[in-house]
Amino acid sequence: MIKKRTILIALVLLLGLSIISPSVQAEGAKAFIGASGTSEDNITITITSNKDVDQILINSGTGEFLLTPQTEYSDEQLKGNNQVMDMNGDLQVNSEDYDILKAHVDGGCKDYTARERCPHCGAADVNDDGVIDNKDLEMLQNHLDGNCQLADCYFHGTRINRKNDPNDPTRYIWSFSYTPTIRGTDHMTFKPQSITSTGLRTGEEKELSVKAEEFKNPEIIRAGTWPNQNKYLINTAVKVYAVTPLETDQVVFKTNSATFVVNTPESIDYVKAEKTWSKTYNPGTAGNETIKITGQGQQSGGTYLDSAVSVDFTERIVDPQVLSTSNSVQTHSYSWTTSSTDADGKVTTTTHTYYWYTITVTATANADTEYVVFNTPGRAMTDNSYSVAGSNRIFSTSWDSTNSGESASASAFCYIGEKPVIKNKYRVTFDPQSGSQIAPITTEYDTLITRPADPVRYGYTFSGWYKEARYINAFDFNNDKIRGTTTLFAKWTINDYQISFDSEGGSACASITTKYDSTINPPTQPARSNYVFGGWFRDAGYTSPWNFTTDKVQGDTTLKAKWIPVVYKVTFNTKGGNETPAIGVNYDSTLPAITPPVLTGYSFSGWFKDSGCTQAWNLAGDRVTGPVTLYAKWSINQYQISFDAMGGSAVDPIGTNYKTLITPPDPPSRDGFTFVGWYKDFGCTNPWRFDAYPVYEDTKLYAKWKAD
């Protein structure tokens, strides 16, 4: 893996048309040498300038380029209207553009006639009517006020490369990404430029030195000795080897007695991207030989940087020796007799004796000895059984001989076998890059691994595992084998979500597609007859409003329009009754309960839509859809006049309307009396005048009699 370090160099302050303080920011204090222009694992160069600077000419080891402010648009079709209103070319529409246009309209450019854009001040014909005038000024003002009639008035794009300094309104902050492609120091120059009507004006140049140093990690992928033995004889050749990535420039083999620096690989495998390094030496001391192997990467100054982790292992070096020998002899004999008879018949008896010897040679050997070969006069004899005497081992052999003076030499040996091949195991870790954690995997060298379950990250879609944090090479679980400690990096693609607008009966609003965790601009405000728009809400109950400044999109979302009904005035014409105050009623609502008016002598018959009281207002069903005047309808009351004949003949009652005169009925009769008239009271003191007294209520009249 190739990484690099970045060294920052501070710059002095310049005045006038100037760059104030260029600086370098490196992610994690590191930057990676790679293709120029990459956006990941590189360094960010930040430049502060005054606001006279329109662009910066930059020279570096990678060439010359012009740094200008830019605006990125999600839809290129939205770009045009904003560009027209951008009078000063700073790629944003704000009050500065309004001031330029106003100065032009007010006559600030008398000597210039322009129909589309003024060559002097940049004022433009916003409404495309062929003249730059107050109408354009009004449209731009509407734009700034948020009332623009252009479909994309709310869209200004995303500013890159330059922004206002939040701590100093007189300054700009410029920034761009830069990835060194070579080791060493890149001397960069920054030349501020201002664009004027007479051409370019250039300010004082500044310099910045960026030192990009390759940072190599030549890890030891695997290492060992050859031949692959469980032990090695002293002073015999042993080859120590190590396998590293291609970026390794040399390997250091350190033993108990010597350090060997090997700067030429034994072989290179470009398919596996590996180098094999080796050193053959003769260990001269018995015991445990500790071998330490370190990979090194060469730096630009000629020095070497060690790998982060060295490999240490131990091999056994043996020196089997016979320390001493001793002989012992055991004598054996066998006797027998023979007899013979001579010619005279004399018998002679002779005794015979045979002697032989058991000779034992004992060898005392050191602990490295596993068997001893005794070279006896007859043949070589091997003893691989021994007894222990302190730190030594005792071997022996015996043979029979007729020569008691025989002996044997002894040679020490050990068994050397093939060491079991144990593949190195390596740990594969998964960097989820803000996603859910994935457990690491430990596997043997040169093996495939099983793809783990995909991590999860809210708002993002998993796009696979990569070998680098810059997502250059995808890891192929079917073909890529693990040949060392490995970290794989999760790549994420930010999700697009759709924001739909349910206008709830209002005019339609187009949906918006945006990235996860981003804010959105409000759509054109919907319209609905007889309602006032009350904002966008997340829920049907309108309890959770959407804040377009701070609320961020977390998924597909439907926002609901809240509508506040228009309140209409309902007036009441009581037509002579007591006054009923006017009320406000929401559009499309029924009237609330209203206290009926009162008119003496009349009964209230309801409210009517017309003054002639022919169209009744249905309190349960009729709804207010605009300003309305309702008229009271009255029914005149009917009253009864009853007559108490006071002992005379009965007189039928008379019914009549309120406030009318009645015709007197036929007088009653009574024997012995003469009818005098009708009176209001029982005592007949207040006469009723039929020609003058109208009826105002139910009335009882009393007959007055005079005796004959």
Confidence class for position 506, pLDDT limits 50, 70, 90: very high
Model confidence over 443-464: pLDDT tens digits?
988 899 999 999 999 999 999 9
Residue 293 has pLDDT above 80, yes or no: yes
Residue % of the chain over a pLDDT of 70: 84
Residue % of the chain over a pLDDT of 90: 56
Least confident segment among 17-31, 249-263, 532-546, 558-572: 17-31
Confidence class for position 89, pLDDT limits 50, 70, 90: low
How many CA atoms lie less than 13 Å away from 460 in the CB half-sphere? 17
How many CA atoms lie less than 13 Å away from 412 in the CB half-sphere? 23
Residue 604 has pLDDT above 90, yes or no: yes
Confidence class for position 83, pLDDT limits 50, 70, 90: low
Residue 630 has pLDDT above 60, yes or no: yes
pLDDT of residue 344: 86
Residue 642 has pLDDT above 90, yes or no: yes
Question: What gap in Å lies between CA 112 and CA 2, rounded to an integer?
Answer: 60
Length of the chain: 708
The mean pLDDT value for 524-552 works out to: 94
pLDDT of residue 181: 58
Confidence class for position 156, pLDDT limits 50, 70, 90: very low
Residue 698 has pLDDT above 90, yes or no: yes
pLDDT of residue 213: 56
Contact of 531 with 506, CB cutoff 8 Å? yes
**Domains, the chain, ordered by start:** 2-69+161-215 (2.60.40), 76-159 (no CATH), 217-318 (2.60.40.10), 322-413 (no CATH), 425-494 (2.60.40.4270), 496-565 (2.60.40.4270), 567-636 (2.60.40.4270), 638-707 (2.60.40.4270)
| Contacts for 21 with CB less than 8 Å, ≥ 6 apart | 10, 11, 13, 47, 48
Question: What gap in Å lies between CA 91 and CA 84, rounded to an integer?
Answer: 10
pLDDT of residue 152: 40
Model confidence over 415-445: pLDDT tens digits?
999 988 777 788 999 999 999 999 999 998 8
Question: What gap in Å lies between CA 213 and CA 30, rounded to an integer?
Answer: 9
Contact of 597 with 631, CB cutoff 8 Å? no
Average pLDDT across the chain, whole number: 84
| Contacts for 9 with CB less than 8 Å, ≥ 6 apart | 24, 208, 209, 210
